[in-house]
Structure formats: structure tokens, C-alpha cells
Structure 1
């Protein structure tokens, strides 16, 4: 009986120690949870502080000289314009080049709300097609609506502010970008201040977009292409001197870039030096230059590679490797294009060009290719510039 009493007492003692340890663990857990929440709050505060410091730096850099106070500017409209009229077709007087462009929302679009208050997601791609003294300026910017706010307006600002001459260095790029970052922040902060959650998102995340630009410059009948790329909006250059168009240059430089989240331009962040790509190349007498948003740009590139069974070079080798061993969305896309390879890429390019004649024709082509499983369900923007032989 004494032994049983001792065992019971020992068990009760162990039980009491377990209860005590459990309470201590709960206290540690609550303390750690408090520390985690404090760290999250400090992180959010630092993000807002960094954003405010960048804005202050821009204000100091571009503050007006001392003098009489400026006349207050008229406030912008309550909702920023999301799309200004764009030139969709251009050509040179001597038929040296011609250019066409279109943009359309993804075929299976998203909507928000219910009943009579349904809002359709807007196409946040923007493009520009502008004649210059010696050629043409073309640009595509893909507003990344999944990150930040006012991404379509930011994309529109980027293409709208481009200079007529090439930006060929990181310094030139930053000097161009800095002045209108402050203006964009100031203008669009007004639109978000009435909604605390939206304003906090705008301050924390900013506005995000890709940018791909080409400056086509002529000297006599010879053309030189100067280009710039930030993000994954493709630039493709084809030589049409032979029977079939041959890919001779492109950005991004690998198919794998389409399978990774791209670096994006943001008014609140300094550009990443390693993500800014620039270059120039003389064009053959007959050439086609394409600038596009990522979905239809990837489609065009894969049609070209499929027609040539990959062709030569690193892109061709990457295409064949993905056709054999690829997985994920990119591997699936490569295999789909390889299985339905076109007999002639020249015919594919001609079909793309014909679709650019009208917005409805372009939307129909995008919807058809999406239904076939060859084109991602995404906003699509494409500019085609043709050089030489009557274009």
C-alpha cells in the first residue's frame, strides 16, 4: 500500500511538472508571437520610410528654384486616364519601313463584383509608335497589375515619357526616369488617400511594369536598331533576306526567362543595373522587328523555333531540351508548339501582320490561338515593324 501511494505521488508530481512546462511553453509562444508581430510592424514602417526618403530625394533633386510661388496646378481627374489614343499604323514616305500595332485584353477576362456592379479587369499593357526625324520610336510596357497599384497608368507614363534618342547607359536611364517618378507618386497618392488600404498598398508596393523600346534610325537606305529592355517583354529581330525569316537577335536572351518572375520598373525603387539590357545592331536590307508583351511575344518566338525545329544557337538548343525534358508551363508550351509546328514561319508572320490591321482582327487571332492552347490567356500587345523591299 505504501508503494502504491508513492507511485501515485510520483505520477502526480510528474503531471504537475508537465502542466508547469506546458504553461511556460505557452508563455514563450505568446512572447514569440508578440515579437513576430512587432517585427512585421517594424518592417512595414521601414518600407514606408524608405519610400518617403526616395520621394524626398527626388523632391530635393528636382525642386524649383527660389522665387515667387507657382500658380497651383489644376488637380488631375479623380480617376487617372488608363489609355490615351495610340498610333496603330505608320510608314515612311519612301517605303523604307512600315509599322503596325494592336493591343487587346485577355480572351477569358476577369471581373469583380456582382449583380449590376460588375467591373471587368482592364488591359494594363501600353504601347507607343511615334515617327522621329530619322526613323521611328516603338515601345511596349506591360503593367504588372498583380503587384502594386496604378500599373496601367505607370506603363503609360513610361512609354509616354520616352525620348526620341536612345537611352544607352544606366546613367542615362536613371536621369530619364527620376524626374517623372516624383510627379507620378504625387499625382496618384491623391487618388488613393481616400482609401487607407489602397494608399498603404500604393506606398508599400508602388507601381510595376516592364519596358521594351526600340529606336529605328535610318541613314540613306541603311537601318540601325537601338534597343532597351527591362523585364520580359520580348524584342525579336528577323532577317527576311532569304526564303524563311531567320531570328538574328532577341530579348530576353533565353526561353527560361519566361518561366521566372521578371524584374519590374517601379517609381519607388532604383532600377537593378543587371536587369537593364541595351544594344544596337545594323539591320539587313529586309527585316522584321517585333516588340510584344510576354504572352504573345513568347508565342511568336516559339512558332519561329518550332518551324525550324529549334534551329541553331543557344535558343534552338534550349528549345530541343525543353521539348524532350521540359516541365511546368514553359515545358508544356514548347511541347505544344513542337507538336503543331508550322510548315512556314513566313506564313505565321504574315498572319500576325494581317491581324494587326484592326483591333477586332487582332482580338480574334489572340482568342483563336489561346483556344488552341498555343497562346497563354493574357493581355496581348504586339508591334511589327517591317523594313525594306516595299515592306
Structure 2
């Protein structure tokens, strides 16, 4: 009797190699996309985009029924922009966004009406538009799709503020039309039992500018992944992030900047601080300079400050260049403890050690806060950093 040959196990998200073997998709641009959740397997933790994530703590997002009451929405400053709703198939929903994983596909299909914020053409909105997203409890599972659209030559700042608790899968679709300048700030100040998996996808058209900032303090597991396509000639993006992880917290961002048009510019800087047993941050930065992106200037960096034993920071920068005609491209990553020279300098001038450490951490993280450009929010976040520094690192759970 002939022996039966068993087909090899295929890791989700892998592709066939020329010799018939399956290898994981490593290149960021090659990841599969689909609007249909059935096209994605539930993450196992083997996939390249999930291998650093605590899968079990996110499982409710792809196993529970949707709950439209799970996250409430309120908007401050709505009078200065157009606010509406978009069903599946209503333009510009989907103009930029294509789900790359199961939570994003579920958020797409289970959001019957997406929130649409449109900044009118040529409008200069001075005061920030603040969208407060309030969780109704950790037992609630919620899905949401948000579209932020800056019409040509407009200027505005949109803040997404997250509070209380929920199990929340979120899509944020950002469209920056020709000559527009848009700042999008997402602030995660959840309770310790919250779970937040967000996919932000943006496109910047000719001479457009996007400043995208992720600030994560609260939440048990927070995963905010921004993907930005610099499509138009002369488009640019500044992509910043700040994470402060306490005991048991997992704060993650996977950043992707695709230089597609000529003469584009990208600057990525994420910083993290960690304290307490089991505190963890994950940053993965991917930059792709496409074959038509001549004259590109791009740089990405991640810096992490580990404040106590038992904390862990993962940092993975990646850079792909498909044209030789660029201005410059580079990446950097550094993770370490306090700079002894800085501490010695401060202590030598009579500053006690605890105060010296506080000043070092505050100075380290304030660089990101000061890029927001909204004084009231900057003051609030500095106060939050001060509060974090005053704790012992015991906040949070590992459950």
C-alpha cells in the first residue's frame, strides 16, 4: 500500500517559495488584504505581524458578537467641520483603507455607518476637533470605522481621545487632499482592563502634509498601527509616538510609511518608557521607498527608556529602497536604562537622585508631547507623565 503524504502545515500569511516550501511574508507591502473577515484566519501568534502580540488577551475581538453600544462618541468643535455618516460603499469610505488583518476586517463589516469628519476646502480650523470615544465597560466588544478627510488646501487638527474601558477594534481612515495640512492625534487613556486594536491608514496627496501622533498611557493591551502612503509629489508626513507602559501593560505600534510619489519626505520618531514587572512596548517600523519615489528624504527612529527590572521593549526598524535616486534614508533604534552621565551632571549640581531621574524621563518624553501643537493637551499629557513617574510601577495586571 502506498504511503499517504500529509500536506505541510502552512503558517497564515505565508507564500510558496520557488522550491515548493512555504516561507512567511516578511516584506510589509506583500501582506494580504481583504474586506472579508472570512479571508483571515484568527491570529495564532506565528504570523509576522502578530508574533509580538499577546493574542489571548485580544481573542474577544474575533470571537464575540458586535455591540454598537460598546463605545460612545462625542465631538467637540464639530461646528467648524462637516460631520456625517458613510455606509459600506459610500465614497470616500474605502478610498484609502483596505483591512490587513482580522480585527480591521471585522471593524469594516460590522460598522454599518462610519463616522465621517470632513474639513472643508480652503478652511483653516484654528481650534482642534476633539472626538471623545468612551468605553461602556470591559465586557463590551465594539467595532468602529472613522474617516477623516482634509479637503484641498485646508488645515485642521483632529484629536481622538479614548477613555474608560472596552474591547475595541477600530479603523481610522485618513485622506489628505492636495495642499492640505492635517494633524491627527490619537490618545489612549483607557482603564487597565481595556483592549484596543486599531488600524490607521492614510494617504497624502500632492503637496499635502500629515502629522500623525500616537500617545498611549492606559489600557491592558493597546495596539495602534499607522500606515501612511505618501502618494502625491511633494507630500510629507511626520509620524510620532509616545508610550508609557506600567506593570502588565502591552503597548504596541507597527508603523508603515510608503514613499510612492517623487520628492516626498517622511520623519518617524517613537519613544517609550517602561516600568514594572511585565511592562512591554513593541515598535516595528517599516519604510518602503518605491521605484518612482525619486528625491525621497526619509528617516525613522525608536528610543526606549527602561526604568525598572522586569520590563521589556522590542524595537524592529526595517527599510526597503527600490530606487537609487534619493536624498537620504536611514533608521535607528536604541533601548537602554538611565544615562549615568546625565544623572551625574544633575546630582553634581545638588539635585537629589529621584528628582534627577524624574527630570531625565520628563525631558526624554516631552520631545514628543511638544510636537502636538495643542497647548491644553500638551499640559494634560505632561501631567500624566508626572503621575506615571510618581507610581511604583505596580499599576496594571497580567491577566
TM-score by length of 1: 0.28
User: More strand per residue: 1 or 2?
Assistant: 2
TM-score by length of 2: 0.28
Query: Higher RCO, 1 or 2 (CA under 8 Å, sep at least 6)?
Result: 1
